[in-house]
Chain A
Amino acid sequence: MMAADETAMDPVLSVRNLSLEFVTRRGVLRALNEISFDIARGEVLGVVGESGAGKSLTGTAIIGLIDKPGRLSGGEIWLKGQRIDNIGHDGLRKIRGRRIGMIFQDPLTSLNPLFRVGDQIAETILTHMPVSKAEARARALALLTEVGIPAPENRIDAYPHEFSGGMRQRVVIALALAAEPDLIIADEPTTALDVSVQAQIITLLKRLCRTRGTSVMLITHDMGVIAETADRVAVMYAGRIVEIGPVADVIRHPKHPYASGLMGAIPALGAKVQRLTQISGAMPRLNAIPPGCAFRPRCMQAIGKCAEAVPPLVRVGATSARCWLHEEQDERSAAHG
């Protein structure tokens, strides 16, 4: 897995060979398989994939919110040099909110409807930082101002239902930033919002993380959002990372057949194409993942080797892809050279 990442020298988050299983009556289902990636300080890593690819599970596994019957079956998670996948419930409580902030899809369910938004933010600050109540409230007000809530001194004592969807998501961002975390995991932060509001929230998130040097793991199914926001992107398929690399390279010159099919399948605003690229079939369910490369049954370029073994993640140009085709090419070019 060396090729997973060589760019980050001193990563904020480092995930190594992470695997996650669900134990069911009909057998063990592997939802995540040998996931490895790093996120550097101030970097935005996009995680993209179709529903069921495992992108949200990766996020929840990092903050240790996997419920039974799910369990981590292997791998390590390191946060700034500290291993966090084996520190238990109490250890994780000190990390969640303080060092890793979360932003979820639906802002209405991530805020408590019975408490004023200012109190919710102040509570997070008081839990994690040694400050007085008055100081916490002042910081909450500053945060609300920073995320662009109009007239924050009046809105700090409002309840979540008094805010619109976009404003609520701003409050959630303020909450995630409250304890000045090293990393924010944003799981579909704009999916529930209209496009014009989505543009506001993306711009806000980008600006805040840039000025504070906060790293972001941005989980979304929308490749357009990734293109505008992320520095690097990981494409997931059936529980594995199939390609990871700088965002411009993955979008313009994807190396994995799934990633390139995905790029062609997205209707673009810029140029009108007569026909969208079609990937036949659908992603396999967890209980029916084929042996070898999971994408093989849908792949137009599949070769004999694909059915035999899972390809390793190998470096191809600027990105890394999990595909036998590139291994073949490497060997060929090596033979010629």
Chain B
Amino acid sequence: MAEPVLRVENIRRLFDVSKPWLERVVAREKPQFLRAVDEVSFEIRPGETFALVGESGSGKSTVAKMVVGLLPPSSGSVHFSASMGGGKVRPGAIQMIFQDPYASLNPRWRIRDIIAEPMAALNHPADPAARAARVADLLTLVGLSPLDGEKYPHQFSGGQRQRVAIARALSSEPQFLVCDEPTSALDVSVQAQILNLMRDLQERLGLTYLFISHNLAVVRHMAHRIGVMYLGRLVEVQETEALFAAPRHPYTRLLIDAVPDLEQIGRDRIPVQGEVPSPINPPSGCTFHPRCPLATEICTREVPAFDGSVACHVAQDTMMAGQAMP
């Protein structure tokens, strides 16, 4: 098997959410921290799409920011393979696509300048004419016309803007793309266009994706492997088909079962109760135990260790793994 492009080891990120210093000293309170990400480890292989799914507040976007270096981890490490420059990654080898194409494009710049910006910043290619030619190629690649380069972002619809954002990300010839909810702001018919485009580009350019989404159906369509996050921890990592066929962590089951699906016309179900607790004061032991239908006494005391595919006291029992969804 090829060497992983990215290896994330035990990254953790705390945010200081204490009251202002003076207030805290007067009230004799300790500083308070929010554990956005806690001991997350995973690998991404070349040419693969690895997805992180979870509900709001699960820490998936914080992981994405730490991977691209927008946020330093509080502890742990992020390694890229030698093919990307190892310790010091080649500039432009990692790019990001953001959720909201209405916010991620500068409204006062022409599309051609937006797309050429990474090339200008890296001075590669140095020749402006070569850059202009590449902008035209990129626009064609993402399904727009080279003539669109003269326009401004407001002249485009949401889906077209996301195509521009993708063209910009590709302009520095990256190997690795971090996509943070790239289609969540788009309507379904447009979402399908962007998802298809991203898969085509992956095949043509051999890209590796870290794909962040809250939408399980989208993730299933896009990803080769999936990591499920809950309250800052990775609770399960599996190949996509295996995850949907035999989810091992009770939270993964809950999530799959909760998604309304076109196939389930008029189904009645018994949803799992409760909501995601506050990450400032998470439950003891396994943070999922208050909502877990299978929780036992040990779950309230000890944090389950991540064994490479699942972090759960109960799922360790082999009977669980084979048991199909009810």
- A residues lining the B interface (CB < 8 Å): 50-51, 164-167, 194-200, 202-203, 206, 221-225, 227-229, 231, 247-248, 251, 261-270, 272-273, 275-280, 282-283
Closest to B215 in A: A267
**Cα A203 to Cα B260 with chains together (Å):** 11
Return A283 CB to nearest CB of chain B, in Å: 8
How many residues from B make CB contacts under 8 Å with A? 48
Q: Decide: B265 and A247 in contact? CB cutoff 8 A.
A: yes
Chain A residue nearest to B270 in the complex (CB): A203
Q: Which residue on chain B has the smallest CB distance to residue A165?
A: B275
A interface footprint on B11-55 (CB within 8 Å = 1, 0 otherwise): 000000000000000000000000000000000000000000001
Looking at B66-74, B171-179, B217-225, the stretch in contact with chain A turns out to be B217-225
Inter-chain contact A228/B273, CB cutoff 8 Å: no
Q: Which chain A residues lie closer than 8 Å to B266 at the CB level?
A: 227-228, 231, 247-248
Contact A269 B195 (CB under 8 A): no
Contact of B275 with A222 in the complex, beta carbons under 8 Å: no
Tell me the interface secondary structure of chain A in the complex.
helix
A-B contact pairs, 18 of them (CB 8 A): A51-B187, A164-B275, A167-B275, A194-B214, A195-B258, A196-B255, A196-B258, A198-B260, A200-B271, A200-B273, A227-B264, A227-B265, A269-B261, A270-B261, A270-B263, A278-B196, A282-B160, A283-B187
Query: A166 to chain B: which residues have CB within 8 Å?
Result: 275
Give the docked Cα–Cα distance between A266 and B221 (Å).
Answer: 10
Q: Using a Cβ cutoff of 8 Å, how many contacts connect chains A and B? A: 141
Min Cβ gap A39→B in Å is: 17
Which residue of the partner chain, among B160, B192, B264, B273, contacts A279 with CB atoms under 8 Å? B192
Q: Does B141 contact A (CB under 8 A)?
A: no
CB of A269 within 8 A of CB of B220, answer yes
Contact in complex: A224, B260 (CB < 8 Å): yes
- Which residues of the other chain, A, contact B188 by a CB distance below 8 angstroms? 50, 221, 223, 262, 265-266
Chain A proximity of B194: nearest CB distance (Å): 10
B192 touches A276 (CB 8 A): yes
Minimum Cβ distance to chain A for residue B116 (Å): 25
Chain B contacts of A283 at CB under 8 A? 187
Besides A227-B260, A278-B189, 4 new A-B residue pairs in contact (Cβ under 8 A), listed by A number: A221-B188, A247-B266, A269-B256, A272-B241
Partner pick for B265 among A197, A248, A270, CB 8 A cutoff: A248
A266 touches B159 (CB 8 A): no
Q: Is the CB of B259 within 8 A of A276?
A: no
Q: Which of B157, B160, B192, B267 is within 8 Å of A228, CB to CB? A: B267
Given the interface pairs A195-B258, A261-B189, A278-B196, the reply to whether A269 lies near B269 with Cβ below 8 Å is no
Cβ-closest 7 pairs across A and B: A224-B260, A265-B192, A50-B187, A199-B271, A194-B55, A267-B221, A276-B192
